Structures are given as C-alpha cells and as structure tokens.
A and B are shown apart, each in its own frame.
Chain A
Amino acid sequence: MEFLRPLSWEEALALRAGRPDAVPIQGGTDVMVEINFEVRRPGALLDLNPVRELAEWEMAEGRLRIGAGLPYTRLIEEVGDRVPGLAQAARTVGSPQIRNRGTVGGNLGAASPAGDCHPPLLAAGAQVEVESAAGGVRMIPAEEFYLGVKRTALRDDELIRAVWLRPAEGPQHFSKVGTRNAMVIAVCSFAIALHPAERRVGTGIGSAAPTPLRAAEAEEFLAGELAGEPAWGRSLPDGLAERFGELVGRAAAPIDDVRGTAAYRRHALAVMARRTLTWAWQDRLAGTGRS
C-alpha cells in the first residue's frame, strides 16, 4: 500500500485526481479500523494530516468555515459555543482518544447512517465544501450530501475541504440513544435547531434509515403551527411537541438490528424529538442558547 503525503491542499487535490484508488485519511479512526478488519485494502492512502489548513476554522461571510480536519476536541473547545448542536454531538463520539483524532470531515467521508455529526449538520442547514483540481469548488447542502449507506455526493476526484454553518441563530440540541454510556454507536439520534429569523425549525435524524435525513413533514408541521411572530414568543401549544415527535418517528425508515428494533427506534425518535423541541423552546423563552 502506498502512502501519499501531500504538503498542501493543491497537491492533495492533484494526487486525488491522479489516484482514484487512493483513500483519504484524516484522523484514521474509521479508515484504520476498516484496514485492520480487512474491510478494504486500498492501493494507496492519501494522508491529509500535513495539509495544515484543513485543521483550522475561520469566520467568513458571517459563517463558520470548519476545516474537514479539525478534531472534535478542538471543535468543542474553540467553536462549540457557536455550533452547540454539533458540539453536543461531537461530545458523544467515542472516547477522548477518538475525539482527539476524529473529525467532521471524516464523519462525512465515512457517511455511516449512524455518524453523530450528520443530524446537527442537517438541522443547522450546513453546507459541505468540496473541491477537485478539475472541477473546482462545489457547495453541497448537507441534505444532498448523503446518497445511501456509506455513499455520498462526493465525486472520485473530490476532497472535502470544510463544512459551513451559520453560528447558531437559536437554541440547538442533540440527543442520542445508545446501549451503553460511552464508546457507542447510536441506536438512533436526533438533532434540532431553531431558526427564529426564518420562523422554522430544522431537524436531523440519525441511525434510523439508510442515510441521515431531515424530518420534512415534521418541520413543515411546526412551521405551519408556529407561523407568525407571536407564536415564537409564547409557550409551545399543548400537544404540539407530541405531534412533532410522532411525525419525526414516522419520517424514519429504521430496521431491526443488533443494536435495537425498528419499533424501538421509532419510539425513541419520537421521544427525543419531543424532548429536544421542549428543551430548545425552554432555552428560547429563557433567553439562553443564542437567539
């Protein structure tokens, strides 16, 4: 197996274009496991760690641009207050060691339906910045990024450069159910982000369908029920959170597997949706959690 070490982003893109069989590696917390378990044996590894800018973040055009190679630990510490949903999800990833190595870019690249970053990225309306030497930069909305189990919209010659998110405009929450308390793949997960300016609530569902997805019907339902300024300043109408939860549960297409049954997943999603909406709304009324 060849080990390619580009020293700059341009070189990385050039190598990527020339070696479609090369597998990018950032933290390696997915890639190395796959190699160890002989899930795959790529012809080459394209090590992105020397490309320093990937591990940085910046504010640009009023948005946060989080480099694909920024480890979770730094993400939590350095920008966690501006992307609380993503930071909450990042805190549940693996263990401290995994959070020191693992990255959002790697989570996107792996595109596991259970990846913890996906629901908050969907809920926040994030965009994925990808680039290739030939095609230049593309901005892919998170909801168009996931195509199937471990399949993404990334083309063979492209690399993920960053994710873009607006600093939280309202409260955000992430919730995950697992069969143990740490080092656990989600049985299912849910993220919510309030977008008060747009009078809308964003959602993201994890580990309950072939891809992470938004609960579109649930979002529309809330937008309808909470139309107009006054609704956003009052307590949630009775039964609203419950109905929202049901719609989120319905949006999923879960399966039975070793981590849990499909029926349990739907139930848990409904619960998490109801809970996170209630928390977020309380935050909003209390004036905490940025709004």
Chain B
Amino acid sequence: MTETIRARAMGRPLERLDGRDKVVGQAPYAYEQQVTDPLYLHPVQAVIARGRINAIDTADAESLPGVVTVLTHLNAPRLTGDGDGDDRELWVLQSDEVHFRGQFIGVVVAETSEIARHAADLVRVEYERWPHDVELSADRDDLYAPDKVNAGHDTDTDVGDVAAALADAPVVVDHTYRTPMEYNNPMEPHATVAVWDAGGLTMYDSTQGVHVVRQRLAPLFGLDPGHVRVVAPHVGGGFGSKGAPHAHNVLAGLAAQVTGGRPVKLAVTRQQMFSVVGHRTPTIQRIGLGAETDGRLTALVHEVVEHTSRIVEYAEQTAVVSRMMYAAPNRRTRHRLAALDVPVPFWMRAPGEAPGAFALEVAMDELAVACGLDPVELRIRNEPDVDPESGRPFSGRRMSECLREGARRFGWESRDPTPAARLRDGWLEGTGVAASVYPRIMQTGNRAWVRYGPDGRYEVGIGAVDIGTGTWTALTQIAADALEVPVEEVRLRIGDTDLPEAAVAGGSGGLSAWGSAVVGAARAFREKFGRHPSAGDEATGTAPESPAAEDFSMYSFGAQFAHVRVHADTGEIRVPRMLGVFTVGRVVNPRTARSQFVGAMTMGLSMALHEEAVLDPRFGHVVNHDLATYHIATHADVQDVDAIWLDEEDPRSNPMGIRGIGEIGIVGAAAAVANAVHHATGVRVRDLPITPDKLFH
C-alpha cells in the first residue's frame, strides 16, 4: 500500500483551467502554432492496395506556381535504420512498394495548402498491381497466432478442461459475435508542424504523448533525442489514434529537411485519416459458455479472429476480458490473426475490452435467458473471489455493488424479463444490462519537477499531454494536494519534451503515471526544502510502481444499464436512457470525469447502433471514409446518459488512490444496448452495428 495524499483539491469539480482559452480561441492546437514563413504539405496517396510504383511523374505538379518541391521515394531524404518491425508503418517514401490503399507515396511542399493539394492531384503514378486481399473471415487457412497480443498479454490461455466442461454443462450458450472495423475519429484531425534547423527537429504535434513521438522519430531521422523537441499544449481528442506517431509525422519530418529551415505544416484530412492513423480491427468472436442450471459458469471459451496489416502486426487483445471477469473454473481464450493488405490497425478507446466485452456481455445475457435468471443476479453469482487469471485478490472489486446500485436507480426490480412484451404507442420497450471492466495500468518512465518561483507559486513540470480530457486541471489538483497548497499556488507545465519524460495519455493510465511522478517530486521537494522554500528551489521525483502491484490484481469495474425503444414496424431504435455505475478508485475531478464516462458511454451507444467502416474488397479502401457516411451518434440520438461512481479510493494503486477512468465507459455499453434491444424485440443481434434491417430476418 502506498501512502496516499490528503484530498483537498482532489474530488472537487474544478472548472477547466484551460476552458476560457479554448472558448475564446486562444488555446493553440498543433496546426495553429505560429511559425515564421511556413510551407504547406499535401500527401499523395496510393490508389492501389498492393503493388509497386513503376513510374511517378511530378513534372506537372512541380511546374505549378507556388510549388517548392515534390518528394517521392526517388528523392526523399533517407531514414536511418532498417525499416523493420513497427518502423514499417513509419518507413515513408523509402521504397517503391505499396502495402495498402491510401499509403503515402509522395508529398507536395508548397506556399499554400490549396496549391499543395492541387499539385498533389497532378502527380501521375504508374503502378504494377499485385493481387491484394482485405477480406477477413474465420475460415481462412492462413490465420496465425501472434507471439503476444497488445499490451503484452498472452495470445492463448487454457485453464482446466473446457471441452469436457462444455460437454457436461446442463446449459450451453455458444455463438459467434461480430464487430466491424471502426475508426477513432477524434474531433481534431491529426496535424503536425515541423521545423528542421541547426538545433535539430521541432515538431508541434497533435499527439497523446510528446515523448513517445520523440522516442520513435529521433532514431528514424538519425537524431539524438535531445535534438528533437515535440510540443503539444492542447489536443482535440485522440481515442488512441494519437498514441504514437504515424506516417504523417515522418512525412513532415522528411519535408522539413528540404526547405532550408522553413517550417512545414501538415493537416491530415478526415478522409486521409481512414488510411493512415489507425483503426479498430473487425472481430469475429466465438463465445462458448457452459453453466449449471443455477447460472454458475463451468466453462468459458472466447476465441477471436481479427485482422492486422501485413507490414506491422497489431493484435487486439479482444479476449483478455474473459480471463478475469467471471469465476468459470475452465477457460480457454484464443487470438488468431489474418495478415491483410489493410491500413495499419492500432489502439481505439479500450482496445480489446471494448469489442471483447460486447461479445462476452451479450453472451452472458443469453445465458441469463437460457437459465431463466435475472442478468444482474447471474453476474453477481459468477463474481470471483480472486482474479481467476492470476489468483491474486483484487485491490477492489465492487462489481456487485455497481450492479445493485444501478439496478436500484434504474428501476430494475419491476422488470419483466419476457422479451417483446412491452408495446407502447407502436414502440417496443426493453432494458438491458452489461458489466464493464478496464485494467488499472501503470506505465513506467515518468518524472516531474517542482520549482518554487519568485512569485511565490510552485511550478510543476512534466511532459504529459492534455488530449481534451482535463489533464491541465486534474493534474493541477493533484499537484496542489501533493504540495498541500491551494490550486491557485500551482502553475502546471505540460505538453513539451523540454519537460521531464512522461508516458503517453493512454490505457486510462495517464493521470496515474503523471500524478505519481508529481507526488514523487512534491515529496522530494518538501523533504529538501521544507514548507518555506526560497525562489529557485527545485526537486525532481519519479513514479515508482506501487508495491501492492505485485500482490493485487487491479481493475476498475462498472455496470451499465440501457433502456431502448424499437419501433415495432420499422425497427428504428432509440435509446432514451443509459446509466453507468462505476468503481474506479478516487475521482480527481467529478466534472471532467463525468465527461469521460458519459462521452465513452455515448461512444458505446454509437458503436452499438451506428459505427461501421465498409471496406471494399475490390479496391481495399474504406468506402464511407468521411463523417457523412461513417455514422457517429448525433445529438438527436443521445438522450439521457448518466454516470455515477462509488465513493472510494484505491490506496494500493498509487498515492492519489486512482485507477483510471478514460476508457471503461465504452466497455459494456454496446452490450447493454444490444441486450435491451433483445429484451424489447426478442431478436438477438450478434453483429454490430444493430441497424433496423437486422431486426427483420
């Protein structure tokens, strides 16, 4: 157990410290950074899914007034390294090969963005086309098991004898669930401004981690990390897609080398984002549940087939949720990949847990129906005493309380379980429940400093990033409590690699890691200088892993409830109410936290009903590559979405007692909606998104 700091500022719904700047437009995002005399970039993208560039003619583009140069694999500066492993996504303009449609094969550098875009259209490319393959299916003969899946999890697990348990089980639910290819689509498209001068490379970037961008790019450009500076004071969302640099960052870095020191600006368009900044893989998931007639699970099988790109392996950890969620003595999980000629998949909010919990939690609902049990009760009956995967106790698992509290607030006790039994004004009504879970993740490599300024305020510095979640505010609250001063006496500095090393804003672990480092620095500062420092006093601290991490399994949990109305004749689906009850350790700022929960639940609703990228097998591109056709829930689709959390702290997690909140809200949300649709209509849709036509088979 770590010693927690006393909560005075923490727990208060402080308004965003950067709110005013954002509202009046004074908070600079990457593309708006003021640089002198910039040039503008527009990429050229491959229009085949696989092959080789035979010829690339840039003459017309280069002769357009205002065009400075056009870079292709023939004339781009060389990158350093061998272009292997994960670097293959970043190995931009280094060879004539095309690995997926939309890949960057050139870039125009011009005086205005309009000229650059126009010129990009004038580049003529001749390809040698090779056959491509972008179709995922569970019966491909080339599926393979990756060495590990994302976040370092084992690919497969086997506990007990699943086959025997399933064969013996009096109740068996065994089905296949599918989730489509999905896109993060943060509000702010990816953008970067690069300056290459005598001092090295400076990049103003829309990223979830300035340090990760530096770590990945410096070696590629043959630069010492000290000669790469990455700056990101404000970021308009990422949902994982900005968790690492992508090809556009390299493109900007290459272009910045040939402009004689003039800065270059690159804004990735919404359509380009569907090719180059990651996506969530489609999944095909088999869930097999074996249970006693009282609902107690005896077997749990979760087998996943998903895709990865041929050039970089990304294996979504879709089945890991089934390893620790329920107390089934016999369990089997599998991840199998098809390596396809698709853009590189990457993190999207709750990678693994979001699609995995959809399948598991719908299957649990099916089991409840099969056993004639209330789905809340079924889950409570299968609550494990210790983590089924590791055998360790949980640092806190108040899952049953979340289920009960949610049920109470949702009016669950009066629910008639009969499906398709409530027709009101032509609409079938139904309610559904699902469980949520997300691991508490502690990332390593975090440092912070505390300096006492001449103005009597404490400056606190760490190279963290606020991606719109409220880090400016919440981390200030933590710093204030760590130093035992009011928030007004703290001046936070983040978003710059000139500040100490900090982990990416990802895995719902940003605030845990950064906050721990800030606490470490504050403690070091007080130890050294006491309560009455002098101007200029400074101390640094790090974020050691909590000793309890060895002995405890740490997860956040939740229960989500959804009320849906399905039109009896047309199948149109409305979601008048969603409620999430979460147990996440301490909540540092209820105001910003609520936005995370409600936002993620809304994203889950969107996943349930709307989101689906349609990949055209003939050409290998996403057809609906814009927000007009890739549907995301609109305001009119979102009605009453509410989130509450149990009052608690988790002292085993870190000195703030927090476990992370950014992703759990999307986990289980789609399942709750799907289960409610079943309750309303009697139709079980196992294939997201749930569209009206799927209700009429």
Q: What's the least CB distance linking A189 to chain B, in Å?
A: 12
Contacts of B569 in A (CB 8 A): 271, 274-275
Residue in chain B with minimal CB distance to A38: B121
Given contacts A38-B121, A264-B696, contact A181 B574 (CB under 8 A): yes
Contacts of B634 in A (CB 8 A): 95, 180-184
Contacts of B631 in A (CB 8 A): 179-180, 184
Contact with B along A258-273 (1 / 0, CB 8 A): 1011011001100110
In the complex, which of the residues A37, A179, A183, A185 contacts B692, with contact meaning CB atoms closer than 8 Å?
A179
Contact with B along A157-189 (1 / 0, CB 8 A): 000000000000000000001111111110100
Residue in chain B with minimal CB distance to A267: B696
Q: What's the least CB distance linking B13 to chain A, in Å?
A: 30
- CB pair A182–B693 under 8 Å, yes or no, is no
Contacts of A272 in B (CB 8 A): 570
- CB pair B637–A268 under 8 Å, yes or no, is no
Q: Once bound together, how far apart are the Cα atoms of A268 and B210, in whole Å? A: 51
Contacts of A268 in B (CB 8 A): 570-571, 692
Q: Once bound together, how far apart are the Cα atoms of A277 and B19, in whole Å? A: 51
- CB pair B623–A258 under 8 Å, yes or no, is yes
Q: What's the least CB distance linking A259 to chain B, in Å?
A: 8
**Quick check: is B628 within 8 A (CB to CB) of the other chain?**
yes
Contacts of A258 in B (CB 8 A): 612, 614, 623-624, 629
**Quick check: is B422 within 8 A (CB to CB) of the other chain?**
no
**Quick check: is B636 within 8 A (CB to CB) of the other chain?**
yes
Residue in chain B with minimal CB distance to A268: B570
Q: Once bound together, how far apart are the Cα atoms of A183 and B635, in whole Å? A: 10
Query: Which residues of chain B from 576 to 616 have any CB-CB distance to chain A below 8 Å in the complex?
Result: 609-610, 612, 614
Q: Once bound together, how far apart are the Cα atoms of A36 and B363, in whole Å? A: 44
- CB pair B570–A271 under 8 Å, yes or no, is yes
Q: Once bound together, how far apart are the Cα atoms of A260 and B612, in whole Å? A: 13
- CB pair B693–A37 under 8 Å, yes or no, is no
**Quick check: is B524 within 8 A (CB to CB) of the other chain?**
no
Query: Which residues of chain B from 435 to 486 have any CB-CB distance to chain A below 8 Å in the complex?
Result: none
Given contacts A37-B271, A275-B569, contact A180 B636 (CB under 8 A): yes
**Quick check: is B644 within 8 A (CB to CB) of the other chain?**
no
Q: What's the least CB distance linking B302 to chain A, in Å?
A: 29
**Quick check: is B572 within 8 A (CB to CB) of the other chain?**
yes
Residue in chain A with minimal CB distance to B693: A264
B interface, over-half SS: loop
- CB pair B696–A179 under 8 Å, yes or no, is no
**Quick check: is A33 within 8 A (CB to CB) of the other chain?**
yes
- CB pair A181–B628 under 8 Å, yes or no, is no
Contacts of B545 in A (CB 8 A): none
In the complex, which of the residues B624, B628, B637, B692 contacts A177, with contact meaning CB atoms closer than 8 Å?
B692
**Quick check: is B633 within 8 A (CB to CB) of the other chain?**
yes
Q: What's the least CB distance linking A28 to chain B, in Å?
A: 15
Q: Once bound together, how far apart are the Cα atoms of A95 and B610, in whole Å? A: 18
Given contacts A177-B692, A181-B574, contact A37 B626 (CB under 8 A): yes
Contacts of B691 in A (CB 8 A): 179, 260
Given contacts A37-B271, A182-B634, A260-B692, contact A177 B572 (CB under 8 A): yes
Q: What's the least CB distance linking B639 to chain A, in Å?
A: 10
- CB pair B636–A179 under 8 Å, yes or no, is no
Q: Once bound together, how far apart are the Cα atoms of A184 and B629, in whole Å? A: 8
The size bracket of the interface on A is: 20 to 34
Q: Once bound together, how far apart are the Cα atoms of A268 and B572, in whole Å? A: 10
- CB pair A181–B624 under 8 Å, yes or no, is no
In the complex, which of the residues B571, B610, B623, B624 contacts A180, with contact meaning CB atoms closer than 8 Å?
B610
How many inter-chain residue pairs (CB < 8 Å) link A and B?
Answer: 60
The size bracket of the interface on B is: 20 to 34
Q: What's the least CB distance linking A243 to chain B, in Å?
A: 16
Residue in chain B with minimal CB distance to A262: B693
Q: Once bound together, how far apart are the Cα atoms of A74 and B596, in whole Å? A: 38
Q: What's the least CB distance linking B565 to chain A, in Å?
A: 12
- CB pair B570–A177 under 8 Å, yes or no, is yes
Contacts of A261 in B (CB 8 A): 693
Q: Once bound together, how far apart are the Cα atoms of A157 and B257, in whole Å? A: 51
Query: Which residues of chain A from 16 to 71 have any CB-CB distance to chain B below 8 Å in the complex?
Result: 33, 37-38
Q: What's the least CB distance linking B605 to chain A, in Å?
A: 10
Contacts of A33 in B (CB 8 A): 628
Q: Once bound together, how far apart are the Cα atoms of A267 and B626, in whole Å? A: 29
Given contacts A180-B609, A181-B636, contact A264 B692 (CB under 8 A): yes
Q: Once bound together, how far apart are the Cα atoms of A89 and B593, in whole Å? A: 39
Residue in chain B with minimal CB distance to A275: B569
Residue in chain B with minimal CB distance to A245: B569
Contacts of B623 in A (CB 8 A): 258
Q: Once bound together, how far apart are the Cα atoms of A181 and B634, in whole Å? A: 7
Interface centre among B271, B624, B629, B692 (most CB of A within 10 A): B692
Q: What's the least CB distance linking A270 to chain B, in Å?
A: 9
- CB pair A260–B693 under 8 Å, yes or no, is yes
Q: Once bound together, how far apart are the Cα atoms of A63 and B548, in whole Å? A: 80
Residue in chain A with minimal CB distance to B638: A181
Q: What's the least CB distance linking A152 to chain B, in Å?
A: 22
- CB pair A182–B696 under 8 Å, yes or no, is no
Query: Which residues of chain A from 239 to 291 have any CB-CB distance to chain B below 8 Å in the complex?
Result: 258, 260-261, 263-264, 267-268, 271-272, 274-275
Q: What's the least CB distance linking B659 to chain A, in Å?
A: 33
Contacts of A179 in B (CB 8 A): 609-610, 631, 691-692
Q: What's the least CB distance linking B694 to chain A, in Å?
A: 9
Q: Once bound together, how far apart are the Cα atoms of A274 and B570, in whole Å? A: 12
Q: What's the least CB distance linking B303 to chain A, in Å?
A: 28
Q: Once bound together, how far apart are the Cα atoms of A183 and B628, in whole Å? A: 8
Contacts of A271 in B (CB 8 A): 569-570
Q: Once bound together, how far apart are the Cα atoms of A158 and B631, in whole Å? A: 36
Contact with A along B269-309 (1 / 0, CB 8 A): 00100000000000000000000000000000000000000
- CB pair B693–A180 under 8 Å, yes or no, is no
Q: Once bound together, how far apart are the Cα atoms of A85 and B359, in whole Å? A: 43
Q: Once bound together, how far apart are the Cα atoms of A179 and B693, in whole Å? A: 10
Contacts of A181 in B (CB 8 A): 574, 634, 636-637
Residue in chain B with minimal CB distance to A258: B614
Residue in chain B with minimal CB distance to A177: B570
Q: Once bound together, how far apart are the Cα atoms of A185 and B630, in whole Å? A: 12
Contacts of A178 in B (CB 8 A): 572
Q: What's the least CB distance linking A234 to chain B, in Å?
A: 24
Q: What's the least CB distance linking A269 to chain B, in Å?
A: 10
Contact with B along A60-101 (1 / 0, CB 8 A): 000000000000000000000000000000000001000000
Contacts of A180 in B (CB 8 A): 609-610, 631, 633-634, 636-637
Contacts of B612 in A (CB 8 A): 258
Residue in chain B with minimal CB distance to A175: B570
Q: Once bound together, how far apart are the Cα atoms of A178 and B692, in whole Å? A: 9
Residue in chain A with minimal CB distance to B690: A179
Q: Once bound together, how far apart are the Cα atoms of A37 and B269, in whole Å? A: 11
Q: What's the least CB distance linking B96 to chain A, in Å?
A: 25
Contacts of B629 in A (CB 8 A): 258
Contacts of A182 in B (CB 8 A): 634-637
Q: Once bound together, how far apart are the Cα atoms of A179 and B688, in whole Å? A: 13
Residue in chain B with minimal CB distance to A94: B628
Interface centre among B570, B572, B634 (most CB of A within 10 A): B570
Q: Once bound together, how far apart are the Cα atoms of A178 and B610, in whole Å? A: 11
Residue in chain A with minimal CB distance to B613: A258
Contacts of B271 in A (CB 8 A): 37
Query: Which residues of chain B from 544 to 580 have any CB-CB distance to chain A below 8 Å in the complex?
Result: 569-572, 574
Given contacts A37-B271, A180-B610, A258-B629, contact A263 B570 (CB under 8 A): no
B interface residues with partner A (beta carbon < 8 Å):
121, 271, 569-572, 574, 609-610, 612, 614, 623-624, 626, 628-629, 631, 633-637, 691-693, 696
10 contacts between A and B (CB under 8 A): A38-B121, A177-B572, A179-B610, A179-B691, A179-B692, A180-B636, A182-B635, A184-B631, A184-B634, A264-B692
Taking A179-B610, A258-B623, A260-B691 as given, write out 15 further A-B residue pairs in contact, using a Cβ cutoff of 8 Å, ordered by the A residue number. A38-B121, A177-B572, A177-B692, A179-B609, A179-B691, A180-B633, A182-B635, A184-B631, A258-B612, A258-B624, A261-B693, A264-B693, A267-B696, A272-B570, A274-B569
Interchain residue pairs A-B with the least CB separation, the first 3? A264-B693, A181-B636, A182-B636
